[in-house]
């Protein structure tokens, strides 16, 4: 809708993060009045902080992207704070938005980690409650799924307006490359680049390589979020994906080729693979939002590698 965002007051939690920056750029390009709260001043896990934030800025739209995230290793060593921080942030934002007279709609971001470990492929939204998530990601996935329940009961009882989106594995320029918090693609890019710089003949990779993932370029995800904030209302979850499934082995081999690492990839089957397969049915997003992902995997991967090589110090900084 032309002019929809012009002058519209929007709070984007997590707006300084990897995905949030892309969302904020899109909103600002359409003349929205965007506020990006920073954690140092606005710790959303603390009761009352979200309410004060919304009371001060009186947003019409709240887009909740703030999250504590990391790869399999981080999920294994920090499951309790991952669960609690994500649960509290979303809970407080949802309730603050419910009580704020100015807020017309709240957009929530779920996670593909919420799906059961052995969900039939492609994942359809109806399968979300058919089992327990893959163990290494379950605390994070369950915290995010609790926000969906919260949205559904608030919509039913209070008429609160929502959109709830579930993206597959995000990647792209601006991602986190510090080993403590990086996801699969940035972690593998860093390993291959480090090996090339050091002249190493091998790169060690977790798992068997047989697990698959569906990767979604960050700009495509940002487009869907802005579309949902503008035009969609409902508490049914909406998958965001590409309908393109890639094994971890293929992922590493493609990254190695782009980086120029020609050595051996040594797989460690004692390390977890994570969820066996991931690919979502994104037809609901196309039907309700008119959205389809458009960035080819190889194109996005090359852009990510190029950005990392040009910004290594910033990319590897621990957030």
Q: Given 74, 83, 115, 140, which residue is catalytic?
A: 140
* Residue 164 is a catalytic residue: no
Q: Both tokens of residue 97?
A: 């938005």
Q: Both tokens of residue 179?
A: 């080993």
Q: How far apart are CA 200 and CA 52, in angstroms?
A: 53
Largest CA distance in the chain: 62
* Strand-pair category, 246-247 with 212-213: antiparallel
List all residues 6 or more positions away from 199 whose beta carbon is below 8 Å from its beta carbon. Answer: none
Q: CB of 280 within 8 A of CB of 214?
A: yes
Alpha carbon distance, N-terminus to C-terminus of the chain: 36
Distance of CA 49 to the CA centre of its chain: 23
| 217: enclosing H helix or E strand | strand 215-217
Give the orientation angle of helix 218-231 with respect to helix 18-29, to 10 degrees.
50
Active site residues: 140
């Amino acid at each position: 809708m032309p002019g929809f965002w012009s002058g519209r007051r929007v709070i984007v939690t997590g707006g300084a993060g990897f995905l949030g920056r892309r969302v904020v750029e899109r909103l600002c390009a359409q003349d929205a009045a965007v506020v990006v709260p920073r954690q140092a001043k606005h710790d959303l896990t603390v009761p009352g902080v979200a309410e004060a934030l919304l009371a001060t800025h009186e947003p019409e739209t709240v887009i909740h992207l703030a999250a504590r995230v990391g790869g399999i290793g981080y999920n294994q060593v920090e499951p309790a704070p991952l669960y609690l921080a994500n649960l509290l942030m979303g809970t407080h934002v949802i309730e603050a938005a419910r009580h704020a007279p100015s807020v017309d709609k709240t957009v929530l971001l779920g996670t593909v980690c919420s799906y059961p470990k052995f969900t039939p492929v492609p994942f359809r939204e109806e399968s979300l409650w058919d089992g327990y998530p893959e163990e290494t990601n379950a605390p994070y996935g369950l915290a995010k799924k609790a926000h969906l329940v919260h949205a559904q009961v608030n919509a039913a009882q209070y008429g609160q307006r929502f959109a709830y989106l579930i993206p597959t594995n995000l990647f792209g320029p601006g991602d986190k490359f510090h080993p403590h918090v990086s996801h699969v693609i940035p972690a593998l890019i860093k390993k291959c680049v480090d090996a090339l710089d050091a002249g190493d003949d091998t790169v060690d990779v977790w798992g068997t390589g047989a697990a698959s993932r569906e990767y979604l370029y960050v700009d495509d995800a940002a487009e869907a979020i802005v579309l949902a904030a503008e035009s969609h209302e409902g508490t049914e979850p909406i998958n965001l994906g590409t309908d393109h499934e890639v094994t971890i082995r293929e992922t590493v081999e493609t990254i190695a080729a782009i980086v120029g690492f020609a050595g051996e990839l040594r797989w460690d089957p004692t390390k977890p693979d994570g969820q066996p397969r991931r690919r979502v049915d994104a037809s609901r997003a196309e039907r309700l939002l008119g959205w389809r992902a458009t960035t080819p995997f190889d194109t996005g991967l090359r852009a990510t590698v190029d950005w990392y090589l040009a910004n290594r110090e910033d990319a590897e900084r621990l957030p």
